[in-house]
């Protein structure tokens, strides 16, 4: 399998959050395209058929280590870190899953990524409302796990503010990865959707009252398959010149808000 990381053919891809929403849609698309998919989720029973199921709680370092062992030592051609929790969760869980767990799993799998492979980290348009400066974000994503966790806790953020910061730092971590992995030809991007019709949309609605204003402007919320299609492309060899950027998937929301504000 490692013979075609930059060409066509079957690839081996890890997808976190594969039991529902965007992750499940992506896993199903990759299987349908003939790729070997390893689905990682806290509740793997609903991971789509044809996917190798791995149980993992990203907030638990021991669970992440066990999942890495279960994934095995064979070469990987892609990692899509889709799993995440909303701001209704406790701040330590938001940071633990959305950032720390995402980074812990990614770092553990880096040695297994074949040259020419790709990483896609799921962020959010909410990340653009994170409170860290560019300099602060750049420094935070390089801290060891325990130091980073303590630093984030000390900020005292909760709810949507903790969620926004976690996703802001995911965007920054993708940028950091792209630079680090460039000599290997391994690409890293982040994808930032606006509201998506997933099982946790109600949680986002509870913490972000303006969420449905987006649907009023755009006409609807995104479907999981629409986001999954972009992630699938970003993972593919056809996206070979896509690297170190965040892809905003907001259905035109930013443009519509901008033009509305200037009328």
- The residues assigned a catalytic role are 163
For residue 28, give both structure tokens: 């199903």
CA dist 2 and 108 (Å) reads 18
Among 138, 137, 166, 139, which residue's Cα sits nearest to residue 153? 166
Q: How many CA atoms lie within 13 A of 20 on its CB side?
A: 11
- Half-sphere exposure (Cβ direction) of 253: Cα atoms closer than 13 Å: 22
Cα-flanking dihedrals φ and ψ of residue 192, to 5°? -120, 95
Is 19:45 a contact under the CB 8 Å cutoff?
yes
Q: Exposure of 215 by Cβ count < 10 A (0-12 exposed, 13-18 middle, 19+ buried)?
A: middle
Q: Which two tokens stand for residue 36?
A: 């070997």
What size, in residues, is the chain? Answer: 263
**Tokens (6 digits) for 15:** 């997808």
> Which of 246, 251, 250, 248 lies closest to 121, judged by CA?
246
């Amino acid at each position: 399998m490692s013979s075609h990381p930059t060409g066509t053919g079957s690839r081996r891809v890890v997808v976190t959050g594969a039991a529902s929403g965007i992750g499940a849609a992506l896993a199903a698309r990759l299987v349908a395209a003939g790729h070997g998919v390893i689905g990682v989720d806290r509740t793997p029973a609903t991971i789509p058929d044809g996917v190798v199921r791995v149980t993992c709680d990203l907030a638990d370092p021991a669970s992440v280590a066990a999942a890495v062992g279960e994934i095995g030592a064979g070469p990987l051609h892609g990692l899509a870190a889709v799993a995440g929790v909303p701001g209704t969760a406790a701040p330590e869980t938001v940071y633990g899953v959305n950032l720390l767990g995402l980074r812990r799993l990614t770092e553990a799998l880096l040695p297994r990524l074949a040259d020419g492979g790709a990483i896609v980290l799921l962020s959010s348009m909410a990340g653009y409302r994170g409170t860290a400066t560019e300099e602060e974000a750049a420094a935070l994503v390089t801290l060891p796990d325990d130091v980073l966790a303590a630093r984030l806790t000390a900020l005292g953020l909760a709810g949507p503010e903790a969620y926004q910061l976690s996703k802001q730092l995911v965007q920054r971590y993708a940028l950091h990865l792209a630079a680090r992995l460039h000599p290997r030809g391994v690409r890293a991007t982040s994808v930032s959707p606006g509201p998506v019709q997933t099982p946790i949309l109600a949680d986002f609605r509870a913490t972000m009252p303006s969420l449905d204003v987006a649907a009023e402007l755009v006409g609807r919320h995104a479907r999981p398959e629409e986001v999954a299609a972009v992630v699938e492309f970003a993972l593919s060899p056809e996206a070979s010149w896509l690297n170190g950027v965040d892809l905003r998937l907001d259905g035109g929301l930013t443009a519509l808000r901008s033009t509305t504000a200037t009328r």
